[in-house]
Amino acid sequence: MIVRVRLGRGRVLRHTRGTNRAVALAAAALLVPVALMAYVLGVWRLASDLGMAGPFGFGGVFSHWQLWIAVAAAAHLASFILNRYGQEGVLRLPRLFSWLPRTPRPRAR
């Protein structure tokens, strides 16, 4: 027995610039407190190592201040890039990342 399913044609995909700008702005706004929290945890761990603060609350891999500062910097950079995209509608990386290969953008028809 052969069953054939006929589906109707859906909407045509359009490649327009800045289609997810609102989502990018929301994600950028939510990443700012995440970065701040990670900076605070990194400074707390560093101050704990120097004897200026109480004992740190995490153990294992998460007990290294370098990890928290790196996570905070990555979240901060992601927030910056998403905020730029949300405002301008074009995903542009900072000049620091000019060595990365760029993918060609699809042309609008």
Nearest partner of 72 among 109, 32, 107, 105, judged by Cα: 32
Which tokens go with 38?
């990670």
Q: What is the pLDDT of residues 33-86, one digit of tens each?
A: 999 999 999 999 999 999 998 888 888 888 899 999 999 999 999 999 999 888
Beta-carbon count within 10 A of 9 CB: 5
Distance CA 35, CA 39 (A): 6
Cα 90-92-97 angle, rounded to 5 deg: 165
| Burial label, 61 (beta-carbon count in 10 A; 0-12, 13-18, 19+) | exposed
Q: What is the pLDDT of residues 91-109, one digit of tens each?
A: 777 777 777 776 555 555 5
